[in-house]
Chain A
Amino acid sequence: MLLKLSLSGIRSRFKDYLVLFSGLIMSSAIFYMFESIAVNKEFVTSTSVGSIARYVFMLGAILLGIITLVYVSYANTFLLTMRKHDYGLFMMLGARPRKIGLLIGLETIMIGMISTVIGIVLGAGITQLISGFMFDTLALPKNNFSAIYGPAILYTLIFFAVLFVLSGFLNNHTFTKSSALDLLKSEQNTDWKQPSKLSLTIQGILGLILLGVGYSVMFRINDLQMVGIGIALVTIVLGTYFLFRSLFVALLDSIQHTAMAQKGLGSFTISQLKFRINDFTKILTVVSLLFALALGAITVGVGFKNLIPQMATANDYYTLAITNPTAKEKQLVNKLDGKTVRTYDIRSGQTGNYLNAAQFEEHPFYYPKRVKDTNKGIQVKVNDKKQSYSYKIRKASITDMNKRGSEANQRLASLFDAKDQAKQMKIVSSSTFAQLGGEKKQIMMVRVKDMAANNTVLNKINTIQQKAAGKMGVVGGAYTMYVLMNGIFGSFEFMGIFLGIAFLAMLASCLMFKILSGTSVDAKRYAMLNKIGTRRSVMKGSIRTQIFGLFALPAILGLIDVVFGLQMFVSAQLLTDPYPVFYVSALVFVILYLVYYAVTVAIYNNFVVPKTKIEK
């Protein structure tokens, strides 16, 4: 009987539940996708890049888990407000509170599990679709990866089961505590009070100060380090909260008394929005911060990815070096675009490798030299003193290269085959070189301007070299670094994008649920407006404005958060110029967000705007 009741409850409200489902499905789908990468043993152990990517995706799954918790609790509140009246009725009819509690728990878990299962199927589908693209970008082998992976399914199921059982208990608890009458009449209570001017002013100023502190801390993250992140988190959260409580209400207050607001539904719209912001302070704060996090995740993720070529070449001037290139390798090198090729002869003896000075004079060797740099550069602690360095490309002198342990010497040596790296390296005059015995070798150094564009050919050469070097061998050159970083930052990028989209989907759904959970109260207001002669178009216009306000305010604050938050990465030298990426991702984000806005408006209209009856 209980099962039948809860099933019919869901069925009768299926349209409303659909919104809830879509959000939950989205979150479980993305969670599954992360898990399928993070826990896939064969894939993770097959390459070094895979094992790094694994941690990145695990981190993503944890973050997503936390945010899902928040989302589920909001979704549940929405669910309960929809069913409150039913539950109250059951209790009036004499159902025991324990039974109702059970019913609520059952419903919550049922909805959770149905959406998780659909989410996993969808997640597997998406994983299949994008894995090809992703693995190409990360330059990973695809054969070890499958989109449908048992343990990942299991973990996703377990995670969401725990989540829903928890929230089922929570719902159960809130309900068994309230009386039948409270439930039946819960919608009639409004505790709206016009806030006093003084408290508005104090809160507004406090909010601005807190936000200001938070933002400036992010600018000075280098001095404050971890403490700074802590301070920024607390001040920005509180500042956002106070701002929503006060400044926006005060602003609306002042607009309300202008002549413009007296036209049409102006004053009604503004007062509704004021009332809403008061009621929505917490969720607007959460939405604003989530928006910032989501956008930040995408921007930083993509920003890191764009840094890869720059960071890879910071370590090595040459993209790759081939000792004794074969015909096949030479052929491949020929295919590279925008390349510079240098070939040096080597006489390799038992104790040392000798090179010809004349060849260096003709074609100098370049390397990135560490130089002091007070403005920019990487900060390094030397003897407890902070010093800034950056790398500048320099021409190596022969004296420098012959100095054992010098940067130039080490850079050149690192490009040799693994077994030659330990040997002493010396550059000798061409007359001496001509008289030297030992094995005759050649080293070919290749530099390409754009590694990403030449990736396919570079990858082929690299594969040949890796094979030749064997398991223990390290292949020198910027390209090795490029591949490695691609693994880390490439997965950062994907995580950033998926996490961003997941965050966005959830925050927008949170907001949507919160707005929609007020429809039963609002419907009465619009019924009244209809009776006193408000056109439907005017009512719809008012609704559009109200919901736009609720969507736009946290988004604007979130955007500002990101603009300042990125500064943290810039100060910490993690990103150089993240803003171009930010503009693009912000645009994409805003478009997606607007879609949510449009959906919310459509559903809301459907609930509250009275239909004009013309049936005859």
Chain B
Amino acid sequence: MPIRWLEREQIVARAGWTRWLVPPAALSIHLSIGQAYGWSVFKPALEHGLGVSELESALPFTVAIIMLGLSAALFGTRVDTRGPRWAMVMSSGCFLAGFLITALGLFTRQYWMVVLGYGVVFGIALGIGYISPVSTLMKWFPDRPGLATGIAIMGFGGGALIAAPLSQALLVAFGGQYTAPDEANGIAEHIPDPNGIGLTFLVLGVSYSVLMMMGWLLIRVPAAGWKPNGWEPSQAKTHGLITTRNVSAKNAIKTPQFWLLWVVLCFNVTAGIGILEKASPIFQEYFPGTTGLAAAAAGFVAILSLANSIGRLGWSTLSDTLGRKNMYRLYLGVGALLYLAIVVIGDGNKPLFLICTIVIISFYGAGFATVPAYLRDLFGTYQVGAIHGRLLTAWSTAGVLGPLIVNAITESQHKTGLVGPAAFRPAFLVMIALLVVGFVCNELIRPVNSRFQEPVPAAEAAPGEEDDVAEVAR
């Protein structure tokens, strides 16, 4: 039986409601679920505390990313139907449950519960929580969809900025951190206490639930016929790829545009992971003579995280002016050239290497942030959340494909005795090839054939009305 308070009709904004309350509501969800990017902090703790292998310690994160795509695809239509508060409450519930199961698994030394809690249950929280704030923001900002999606998805990237230091501080406080021995500096090895890791998950689960609460309390959907002050739907660009018509999620996946965009997103993400996955070892192998190498490599990882986050907002906002297709030309085309520059210069020019990697990672983040607005341009806002959910399976695929390609190639290079730029060169060449394929797919995207579009009643709805029309259509 549905709980009325959670349903879409209960959260229609009253007259005088400001749309500037919606971005913080969306951010509270995305900053929380972005915790997933902070998983690497737990890997050494789990490996030394529970005695699991490197592969096993990566498994909860990998499963979570797979579940993100699957749950977004499976529940996308329901999320669109029930509304953002329902989705946010479900996401918060799965988030808390996932972290509690993970904590219980650590208290009882049952690693399968960590995989179940973090990988499966928290992964569902990611999928449900990711798409709803994005589609809601696009309905509140029909005049600036790129900015709107950039704000929310920057929050997901920013989640790592919060999660990494917070998790590290909690692990230290509860004795769950791993410290490698350093005889030169008189530092003894510290083996993590699994109970300390469990307590960290417990505190994180409760804290993030409180942070997310503001999101589902404040979230609203625009009333029928609402539009921003001084903006007329007729002002919206309708030329080129941008449509005023709508396509259902069911029909969208029958179009070549959806699958071309799927490949574009998948390869753009895979290329970004090429550097992100091994950022610290790449830096250490490229510039082994750097003073304070470990700290410098940590600084490199930090600056990439910042580029990932800022790129989401900056490039996506620019897409409102330059157009979505042009932005992907930039991400994929210039991205391939920057990878080529890294291959050519090797370790010969550190500032240029830093600039290239920073811009590549900013394009990686931007690819995530611009794609919802690209979907809105192609398919309208009618079921854009559900379509976005289905597209996120590309991310799941890339989440498995990217690390697999990079690790397999670099490991084989290392086995042959190659180190430094030479060890990473073949992996980077593969990334260039993927980016070129993505570039070609982006070039092939054309306006959606009218036979896939919804009949006029749904299609003529003004921003904010689509939800009501969607209800009627169902």
Pairing of A with B:
no
